[in-house]
Amino acid sequence: MTLRIHPVWWPALAISSPAWVPWLLLRHRRFRKHGAAAARWNAELLERARPLDLPEVDRLELTVLVEELTGPGFLGNDGVSYLLRTELGAVVMDVGFGPATPVLQHNARELGFSWDGVDALAISHLHGDHMGGLAAARARRVALPPGLLPSRHDLPCYVPEAAEAPGFQAIEVEEPRHLGFGIGSTGPLARSLFFLGPVREQALLVRLRGKGLVIVTGCGHPGVGLILEMALRLAPGPVYAIAGGLHLPITSGRGHYPGIEAQMVFGTGRPPWRRLTDADLSHAIDALNRAGIRRALLSAHDTCDHALARFSRELEAGAEVLWAGYSGSL
């Protein structure tokens, strides 16, 4: 079993425990309070959910601008940015770390990406690896590299919570809706995260003619079971594919610091004394198999190699792992 904190750190943690133990207890109280509020929010959103007037489309193309894994000539990090294109229009989902690293701008140049022909930006949730960096997350301002801003200033940016989006028209998504272009949103599903606090995250939905529903996630913080439940209320019928992150750092994490598996400590959403296990991974696999998915295109930015390997072996559909530079039809 992977040690999340190397024993070399244990004496320092013991010495400093009078400071951090009370802080953890206060944090846990807030975590439980926010968790109860998130459960009420999700229950109300599910209760109000009705099938969306989401048109079927003949094609959906997925292009990966930012991911952990990379193709030749591309840069990678633990952020996410995807381009979704149907015959009705195109949406960029998330912008990775934006101007905080050169990854997005470099990969956009390699792919020949421009905002011409793109109809909107959608942000899955307000975390730095999805909305443009840690400074962007603290300021609640979606950030792109200056050289990658659209020339138009009326492009909508759909955000799941109140936030600014310089260079775009920020529109808060408060409930499930059709964004346009054959692409819908689950609306902002909520979760309480121990270290990062409450978060609301939307997934995107596309109905492929003759195949079924495609669900695209950023991190999947609300949990795959809840995302599937909401998606099926909004677009009843078969689930064809899921793409994106499911946030399962079981045996390792993508954020490595000397002696600390940071993603396994701070990125699971749980208190630090409760780790994610293979049982949690099995629940996710079972939920996807019960939904009958036929394709899984998963992100490595928040899910460990062990989990990705189990998805590949145990999902009835198998699993593909996304990489920066990937472009294909679903």
2 lies in some domain: no
- What distance lies between CA 175 and its chain's CA centroid? 18
The residue to which tokens 């952990």 are assigned: 68
In a domain, 74, yes or no: yes
The answer to the question of residue 210 being in a domain is yes
Helix (H, G, I), strand (E, B), or coil: what is residue 153? Answer: coil
Is the separation of the CB atoms in 137 and 196 below 8 Å?
A: no
Q: Residue 1 domain-assigned? A: no
d(CA 275, CA 208) in angstroms, rounded, equals: 37
Q: Please give the model's pTM, rounded to 2 decimal places.
A: 0.96
**Rounded to 5°, angle at Cα 203 from 64 and 230:** 150
Range of the domain at 206: 7-329
Query: Which CATH number characterizes residue 21's domain?
Result: 3.60.15.10
Total domains in the fold of the chain: 1
Q: Which of 135, 145, 156, 59 is nearest to 95 (CA)?
A: 145
pLDDT (tens place) for every residue of the chain, 330 residues total: 577 766 766 676 678 778 788 888 999 999 999 999 999 999 999 999 999 999 999 999 999 999 999 999 999 999 999 999 999 999 999 999 999 999 999 999 999 999 998 999 999 999 999 999 999 999 999 999 998 999 888 899 999 999 999 999 999 999 999 999 999 999 999 999 999 999 999 999 999 999 999 999 999 999 999 999 999 999 999 999 999 999 999 987 776 666 667 777 778 889 988 989 999 999 999 999 999 999 999 999 999 999 999 999 999 998 999 999 999 999
Cβ–Cβ under 8 Å, residues 69 and 322: yes
DSSP E strand boundaries for the chain:
56-57, 60-66, 81-86, 89-93, 120-122, 156-159, 169-172, 177-180, 183-185, 189-193, 197-201, 204-208, 212-217, 239-244, 256-257, 260-261, 295-298, 320-321, 327-329
Q: State how far the Cα of 317 lies from the Cα of 248, in Å rounded to an integer.
A: 19
Distance CA 182, CA 156 (A): 15
- Examine residue 137 and state whether it is found in any structural domain, yes or no: yes
